Amino acid sequence: MLLKELIYSVDLPEGVTVSMDNHDVKLSGSRGDLSRTFKHPLIAVSEDNGTIKLIGKKLRRKEKALIGTWRAHLKNMAQGVSSGFLYEMKIVFAHFPMKVSVKGNVVHVANFLGEKTTRLSNIHGEAKVIAKGDKVTIEGNNVEDVGQTAANLEQATVVKGRDIRVFQDGIYVVSKGAAQ
């Protein structure tokens, strides 16, 4: 069944401004700017007094799902430029103490399970990583960069070839939230 026209809106928080250039949407706030391209022949993006409207004509199920995805992206962008995202991770080890350090765009995990080689994890995008004690904090404006950096760090410390019920060493996400 085809519907004539659907309009969804995304309300922007105070202090967040939007500028549009063709299919590119740029949100600006107190923490910086984020931009993304939203392009589809059946879906239009427009701005109306502090809200972003997603207008679709003759939508099918896939286009409706795409509008939902775009709404989530726009909400995450608005939260990112206004308050940011913060992931907290915990370093867990039983016998061999891990040493975690940040050098440039790479996180170095030394002495994982007593290994001589250092495991490396890439920092994605503009995320900032701070390793202090048994905690690692990842902060940034783009939720995708922060989440991918946390995932890279978890994947770098995966235990292979041993019983994971016994060897629970690694770096794990313990909380997610707004930075400010």
What class, spelled out in words, does domain 3-82 have in CATH? alpha beta
Please give the CATH architecture assigned to the domain spanning 85-178.
Answer: Alpha-Beta Complex (3.90)
Cβ–Cβ under 8 Å, residues 33 and 27: yes
**Single pTM value for the model:** 0.89
Write down the pLDDT at residue 8. 86
**Can you list the residues of the chain whose pLDDT is less than 70?**
1-4
Count, residues in the chain = 180
> Tokens 């992206």 identify what position?
73
> Tokens 């896939």 identify what position?
62
The Cβ of residue 94 has, within 10 Å, a number of other Cβ atoms equal to: 10
H or E element at residue 144: helix 143-156
Burial class of residue 98 in the structure, from the number of CB atoms within 10 Å of its CB (0-12 exposed, 13-18 middle, 19+ buried): buried
Question: Taking the domains of the chain in order of start, what are their residue ranges?
Answer: 3-82, 85-178
Nearest Cα residue to 176 out of 142, 131, 145, 138: 138
Question: Quick check: do 3-82 and 85-178 share a fold?
Answer: yes
Write down the pLDDT at residue 2. 52
Burial 71-83 (b: 16+ CB within 10 A, else e): eebbbbbbbbbbb
Write down the pLDDT at residue 49. 85
3-class secondary-structure state, position 75: helix
